[in-house]
Amino acid sequence: MILTKNTVACNWYPVYTQPRAEKKACQALMSKGITAYLPLQRQLKQWSDRKKWVEEPLIKSYIFVYVDGQQRADVLMTKGVSRFIYFSGKIATIPHQHIEDLKLLLASPYELSVTEENLQAGEKVLIKAGPLKGMTGEIILYRSQKQLALKLENLGYSIIVNIAAELIERF
């Protein structure tokens, strides 16, 4: 939890948007003065006549907002926003470090993919070199490749990072 200059407690919350409305909803939130984060990933899209690099949301229909309890109503009254994500009957909160880790992952040169599969827990590892140095995760087997899975626990998603085995160590 981070305190703003007014000593009001703010948290990161995942927000579900209407389909394919992530960018517009994020822009509308920011125009209201609400801190919002939409993780985007560059992807090469192919149409019948051309190819083009586009920025697509890493997690479809999700935006993260950094608000206090009073601002949550403003979030819900924003065009394109559907609802907050709930877990166990309460609005889910995302630790600040998870948002920072997500930003770091997206800034890294590694190819990322997101899966809703319930991945089986494996060996815990620490990344010892490269731009993701210091991050922890679990080794999984996915599509016959050894990969590092960094889980965003509160979202129910796993982020898969292709990384060389020599860059990790057991702990």
* CATH number, domain with residue 38: 3.30.70.940
In angstroms, the CA 140 to CA 163 distance is 12
CATH number of the domain to which 151 belongs: 2.30.30.30
pTM above 0.95, yes or no: no
pLDDT in tens, 121-167: 577 777 887 778 888 777 765 443 456 666 665 566 777 777 776 67
pLDDT tens digit sequence for 40-72? 998 888 889 999 999 999 999 999 999 998 999
Same domain, 117 and 56: no
Is the domain of 7 the same as that of 86?
A: yes
Q: Which two tokens stand for residue 155?
A: 């979202």
Distance from chain centroid for Cα 128:
22
Would you say residue 102 lies in a domain?
no
Place of tokens 């192919």: 46
In a domain, residue 23? The reply is: yes
Domain of residue 51 covers 2-94
> Is position 117 within any domain?
yes
